[in-house]
A and B are shown apart, each in its own frame.
Chain A
Amino acid sequence: MKRMKGGAFLLESCQPEDVFTPEDLNEEQKLIAKTTDEFIREQVFPLLEQIEQQNFSHTVRLLQEAGELGLLAADVPEAYGGIGLDKVSSTLITEKMAQGRSFALSHGAHVGIGTLPIVFFGTEQQKKRYLPALANGKKLAAYALTEPGSGSDALGAKTTAVLQEDGKHYLLNGEKQWITNSAFADLFIVYAKVDGEKFSAFIVEKDFPGVSTGPEEHKMGIKGSSTRTLILQEAQVPAENLLGEVGKGHLIAFNILNMGRFKLAAGTVGTAKRVLELAIKYALERKQFKQPIASFPLIQEKIATMAIELYATESLVYRTAGVLDQGLSGVEQKQGQEVAKAIGEYAIECSIAKVVGSEMLDYVVDEAVQIHGGYGFMSEYEVETHYRDSRINRIFEGTNEINRLLIPAALIRKANKGELPFFARAQGLQSELMNLMPTLPDPQAAPLTLEQEQINHAKLLFLFVAGQAIERYGTKLTEQQEMIRDISDIALSIYTMESTLLRAAKQQNQSKPNATSHLQFAEALIYNRMQKLEQIARHTLTALFTGDTLRVQLAILRKLTRIEPKNELQLKRNIVKQLLKAKKYIVQSRS
């Protein structure tokens, strides 16, 4: 596999052999997925109702059981009591766990934002002291960044840390808000400003003097997870519990978010699979007008579209897992900061996955409720919980707005550092575009040939729109948030389309039995996104130009987003057959 730089997918082409797909899992990875799946279905499912009532003793005991199975140890190096698995395996664990709703959030917060700061930035001593117990579940972790006055603007935190005169303790003062796992966490990663200025991170044990938590919040969803304030009143934290360097807390916070975002996306795949299964089974059982509602084309279309969107996220999540593993190959696991840096290279991909995954899941749960009709509005139906639980994903780990703002900024930073040839490519683009000749559809051509060309055009479109916006506004582009959002959305679409295309093409190249089915999913997804791209780009171009110049730019836009008409109605009717037959999400053409 060829290794690509972060964000390079926007500028370069990528081959099917270079991407990882869910069809490439090896035996160990399949077994890891199976163990997780069985653990959730057999141990967690029967207790979900009680967990929903905040019976946290179940959560804690199940996390310890998960620890015994090794399900908390994937991202912890062997040297510190973990298993140090590849990122594909750790993605699979997150995906399968996600079916466990609130329990999955408790798990995710512990293994992700709770444990990883120590894995990446802990000193040798801190790692030896804390990681073995975190990896086996004897101790549970939480992450305390947010405050009442600072959410998205995390660096605006007011919590302070002052080193006492004897140099042995920091005194922390402040209040952290909405801290997942706070009811039962043994330790918190807390961000505070040393001397009110230097943003820094600390490992704070719950039993340190001056540490307490507030009452449980009443939430819209994920009700079975614990969310409280963390109160620090003259909290005494030993000096050796400073995590990383004074004033370098932002590095920790931002690096942790990359994995946090990626894991969130992996979770949306698992939840969406569960929800789609619920929706399909319900549609097959519920009869109206003397037939199962699954026989109505409008219901079938919903199921097909949900599955296509899920396929797309699944493709891009596993592609990204593969990209992370490539980036990490050759990096010594024990060198936490090196690992964090290698992952940070793919911050753009992690943000994209977070946004795409959370929006996919919200779409899927919404349609699943719709398929359930009034029953979907009733709490006895599992789908009702999923509908409420899903909503948080667009808010935490950086709101989707914040993530959309980050993507172009990260790209421009890389371009300025000379890591990506963005400006070189953007130059001379105009003449390239003027001379662009559309290729005509060739019935003899291999499947996905047209789609591949459309994606190439979408990449040109990205350069074109982003290039024009930067040329016009320069560093002031940050004020044009709508344009940045548009540019992000183009990047999102490209990564989504290309990940589905490469996955389907890989099955095709390897003559896999289900390749035809993959082709259908990819074609449907790309057809949909190409149409949206035109709208998105038009929105920004129309704000950048007027009159004749605008007309010329829009003509280029039309050339770049030209697609052959496709009978989408029929395509979806074909796709839905396998889903109804299997009674769950499946990419299969055996029949």
Chain B
Amino acid sequence: MEILICMKQTFDTEEKIFIQNGEIDDDGVERIINPYCEYAVEEGIRIKEAHGGTVRLITIGGAEAEAAIRTAMAMGVDEGYRLDLTDFPADSDEQTTSECIVQLIKQKQIPYDVILCGYMSIDNGTAQVGPRIAELLGIPHISTITSLTVDGRQVQVERDVEGDLEKVESSLPILLTAQQGLNEPRYPRLPDIMKAKRKPLHRMKWDELRVDVQMIQARTKKVAILPVEEKETGQILSGTIKEQSQELIRLLHEEAKVL
């Protein structure tokens, strides 16, 4: 079984976001594997453990992303590709990302029966890259999966549909995006951490890909990045229902000034 994972590195969920000159300040921040991608990595490794094969992984990012790749390797990924988009001469968005990944797959002839992605990244949160890759490769895709069984060339999937469960069947090759609940990612074992640094990691820059910058540059434009306003702590009213309603009306009128 040839398993391919597309994984993104993101800010640690505990990091506070600071905006400087209209850009997110990433100086010295802690980074992690995007949690949804981590489910994808874990699932990929489980497929390999059950059916044999090779788990490969693609990440787009600078040198700092190698920490995430090594982590995935310590979990069990066999081989990694890091594509560096630094100095890309135009704006980039999900269009750029997916075109680049597909170019990389084609150019390096990376084999795949199953491609696994996180269903979205917790930073930009667009949930587009997985489906776009499937489209460009011309293979089926199933998103937000919470359970996967591979049986020969058949796959049975359970997916989360806004809280409901849908069962879907399809066949390989296929692209799947991982939702929370798919599995419980393992902690890397120490011997595997030490082995990870000896696994092959290929590095490429965007200009080594045969891509047309005009074609793949962003189709969307970022207008502004703004901080989320901090939520103030709420107030809990007390008293009888009548007293509470009166107090609520008074507050809406006098303090919030919305009435």
**Chain A positions near chain B (C-beta within 8 angstroms):** 27-28, 30-32, 34-35, 38-39, 68-71, 73-74, 83, 85, 512-514, 581, 588, 590-591
Give the Cβ gap from B2 to chain A, nearest Cβ, in Å.
26
- Chain B residues positioned under 8 Å from A30 (CB to CB): 67
- Nearest CB on B from A89, distance (A): 8
Report B189 CB to chain A, min CB distance, Å: 5
Which residues 45-72 of B sit at the A interface, judged by CB distance below 8 A? 66-67, 70-71
Instruction: Give complex CA distance A70, B190 in Å.
Output: 5
The reply to whether A70 and B70 contact each other, CB–CB distance below 8 Å, is no
| B65-109 interface code vs A (CB 8 A; 1 in, 0 out) | 011001100100000000000000000000000000000000000
Contact of A35 among B27, B28, B29, B190 (CB under 8 A): B190
A28: B residues at CB distance < 8 A = 70, 193-194, 196-197
- B25 and A35 contacting across the interface, CB-CB below 8 Å: no
Nearest CB in chain A: distance from B69 CB, A: 10
Could you say which residues of chain B place their CB within 8 Å of the CB of A83?
A: 190-191, 194
From A34, A73, A588, A590, contact of B187 by CB (8 A): A34
Instruction: Among B18, B28, B70, B191, point to the contact of A514 (Cβ < 8 A).
Output: B28
Partner of B190, one of A73, A512, A513: A73
- What is the distance, in angstroms, from A206's C-beta to the closest C-beta of chain B? 28
Question: In the complex, are the beta carbons of A31 and B27 less than 8 A apart?
Answer: no
Inter-subunit contact A31/B74 (CB<8 Å): yes
Inter-chain contacts of B28 with A (CB < 8 A):
512-514, 588, 590
Closest Cβ neighbor of A588 among chain B residues: B28
Query: Is B173 part of the contact surface with A, judged by Cβ < 8 Å?
Result: no
Q: Are A35 and B188 in touch, CB under 8 angstroms?
A: yes
Write the nearest CB–CB distance from A370 to chain B, whole angstroms: 27
Q: Which A residues are in CB contact (< 8 Å) with B70?
A: 27-28, 31
Residues of chain B with a CB closer than 8 A to A590's CB: 16, 18, 25, 27-29
Please state if B187 and A74 are interface contacts (CB–CB under 8 Å).
no
With A35-B190, A513-B27 already in contact, 17 other A-B pairs whose C-beta atoms are closer than 8 Å:
A27-B67, A27-B197, A28-B196, A28-B197, A31-B70, A31-B196, A32-B190, A35-B189, A38-B187, A39-B187, A74-B190, A83-B191, A85-B190, A512-B28, A514-B28, A590-B16, A591-B18
Contacts of B194 in A (CB 8 A): 28, 83, 85
Chain B 183-203, CB-CB to A under 8 Å as 1, else 0, gives 000011111011011000000
Residues on B facing A (Cβ under 8 Å): 16, 18, 25, 27-29, 66-67, 70-71, 74, 187-191, 193-194, 196-197
Please report the C-alpha to C-alpha distance between residue A480 and residue B196 in the assembled complex, in whole angstroms. 55
Judge whether A70 and B187 touch: CB under 8 Å: no
Task: Write the chain A residue with the least CB distance to B70.
Answer: A27
| B187 pairs with A32, CB closer than 8 A | no
Chain A residues near B188 (CB-CB < 8 A): 31, 35
**Least distance between B79 CB and chain A CB atoms (Å):** 17
Are B193 and A31 touching (Cβ within 8 A)?
yes
Q: Which residue of B lies closest to A37 (CB)?
A: B187
What are 26 A-B residue pairs whose CB atoms fall within 8 Å in the complex? A27-B67, A27-B197, A28-B193, A28-B194, A31-B71, A31-B196, A32-B190, A32-B193, A34-B187, A35-B187, A35-B188, A35-B190, A38-B187, A68-B189, A69-B189, A69-B190, A70-B189, A70-B190, A70-B191, A73-B191, A83-B190, A85-B194, A513-B27, A514-B28, A588-B28, A590-B16
B187 CB contacts on chain A under 8 angstroms: 34-35, 38-39, 69
